Every structure is written in C-alpha cells, then in structure tokens.
Amino acid sequence: MLKIKNLHASIDDNGVLKSILKGINLEIKAGEVHAIMGPNGSGKSTLASVVAGKEEFEVTKGTVLFNDEDIEDLAAEERAHKGIFLSFQYPVEIPGVSVTNFMKTAINETRKAKGLEEMPAKEMLKLIREKSELLEIDRKFLSRSLNEGFSGGEKKRNEIFQMAMLEPKLAILDETDSGLDIDALRIVANGVNKLKSKDNAVLVITHYQRLLEYIVPDFVHVLLDGRIVKSGGKELAHELEEKGYDWIKEEVNA
C-alpha cells in the first residue's frame, strides 16, 4: 500500500535548507499495523507530515508510492481523497465550525472529488451517530466548534472519530496517545482496532510503548536522526521501553 524509498526531506529554516529525513525506507502492506518509535527530534512527525502532503517540507530525494502511484505532486486533499489520513499530534482549533459540519464538508468534498453525489442528510446522520457511539462521544459534543476548548483527550478521540467517518486506507496516528488518560487511551485504541481490516493499514507514531499494548503492531521501527535504524516485531517496543534508545544509538555508531 505505502512504499517509501530512500526518502529525504528538508525544511526551509530561515533560508537554510535543514535536512530532517535522511533516507527512509518503509513498506506497509494492507492489513498491517506498523509502529514508528524514536526520541524527540528524530523526524517522526516530519515523516507523517510528508506522507500527508504538508507543503513546508521539501522532498529532496526518494519517492513515496501509495498503491503504486507516486504521490509527490498531489496536494494534501488529493492524498486524503485517495485514502491517506493523518491524526494530528496537536489537532487544530477551528472556531465557528461545528464538528458535525466539518465532517459533512469533509465527506462531501471527498465524494465530490470522486464524482459522487453528496451524501443524503439522513445517511450522514446515521453515520455520525454510529461512529460517535463507537468513540463514546456525547452527541452534544458534535455541535461544538471543532476542537475549541476540547480537553487533550477529547481532541484525540475526535481525531479517531474523524478517521472512523472517513474510513481511510492508511491511517497515520501521530502521537495519538499523548495527553490521554488510561480510559481515553482504551477508547481510542478500541476505536482503531474496530476499524482495522485486511484492506487498510495503520501507522502508529509514538514515544512510548503503552499505546502499543492496545494497538498491537506487526512491525516496530526505530527512527533515529532521520533514518530507520532498526526494525523488529512488537517485542522491540518492550525492549525500547525498558532500555531506552541509547543502546540502539551505540549499535548504530558501532
């Protein structure tokens, strides 16, 4: 589904190109759950943003293929229409736009892009009801302005609610566990697990292994200084939790 080959990406830092991703190779197949772990500043969020199409980053080398199509020239919304979803580490507050209307707009714009008619209001309501129950979201919450005044946990739950509504092929969860208490973590993980199927894939980006107790990865990758330096099964996450990253750094330097 997703094939990343030798991906290099930089950001313009006051006129100087600063290299962040330095040759990423990663392949995610349908039905798989991958986790990327790594210390702060290793490039985890950048990788997520580049795949989602953030224009501030410049891809200097390498390719990103999504279902065998090079997506480099596609805008963020076009990638979304093809089925890439990014759950934000810090979801953005949009005053004046209710959760419901935001979702309506997102779904209908996606349908428009695919040449489909707008979703009938009744169907939309049904879908919203169904998915909000899945994430245990109070109905009152849906008429509030998107993310405005939401707690950290509410914001993250809302991200997964949006994911449930949009049913992406590839969901990238960027630090979805940060700011979640244990109950919210369980609800979010439960939501992700219920949406998982053999036809879609999940990429979990995280600092800690605790989310991976609930969303069990098939593969764990360690990102250090813009490169994936180690890959393994879910046991690698436990090892990182126990021992930190220093031993990997030493291994890499050796």
The residues near 223 (Cβ < 8 Å, ≥ 6 apart) are 24, 36, 37, 38, 42, 43, 44, 47, 229
51 or 224: whose CB is closer to other proteins?
Answer: 51
Decide: is 94 part of the binding site for other proteins (CB under 8 A): yes
The residues near 213 (Cβ < 8 Å, ≥ 6 apart) are none
93 or 123: whose CB is closer to other proteins?
Answer: 93
- Letters for 145-164 (x = contact with other proteins by CB under 8 A, - = none) are x----------------x--
Residues numbered 9-48 forming contacts with other proteins, rule: CB under 8 A: none
131 or 230: whose CB is closer to other proteins?
Answer: 131
- Report the phi/psi class of residue 62: left, alpha or beta, with left for phi > 0 and alpha for psi in -120 to 50: left
The residues near 17 (Cβ < 8 Å, ≥ 6 apart) are 10, 11, 58, 60
C-alpha 4/C-alpha 200 separation (Å) is 17
| Tokens coding 11 | 């950001």
Query: 35, 37, 85, 170: which one contacts other proteins (CB under 8 A)?
Result: 85
Query: 92, 115, 140, 253: which one contacts other proteins (CB under 8 A)?
Result: 92
Query: 15, 16, 18, 95: which one contacts other proteins (CB under 8 A)?
Result: 95
Residues numbered 57-76 forming contacts with other proteins, rule: CB under 8 A: 75-76
Decide: is 101 part of the binding site for other proteins (CB under 8 A): yes
Assess contact for 6 and 62: CB atoms under 8 A: yes
Query: 4, 35, 52, 220: which one contacts other proteins (CB under 8 A)?
Result: 52
Query: 23, 31, 91, 179: which one contacts other proteins (CB under 8 A)?
Result: 91
Query: 3, 5, 8, 54: which one contacts other proteins (CB under 8 A)?
Result: 54
C-alpha 86/C-alpha 65 separation (Å) is 16
Query: 11, 59, 127, 166: which one contacts other proteins (CB under 8 A)?
Result: 166
Strand (E) or helix (H) holding 155? helix 152-166
Quick check: helix, strand or coil at residue 72?
coil
Kindly indicate which of the ranges 3-11, 88-96, 214-222, 241-249 contains the residues binding other proteins, using the contact rule CB under 8 A.
88-96
Kindly indicate which of the ranges 64-72, 90-98, 213-221, 230-238 contains the residues binding other proteins, using the contact rule CB under 8 A.
90-98
Strand (E) or helix (H) holding 235? helix 235-243
Nearest to residue 173, comparing CAs of 131, 227, 142, 217?
217
Interface ranges with other proteins (CB under 8 A): 52-55, 75-77, 79-81, 84-86, 88, 91-98, 101-102, 105-107, 109-110, 113, 145, 162, 166
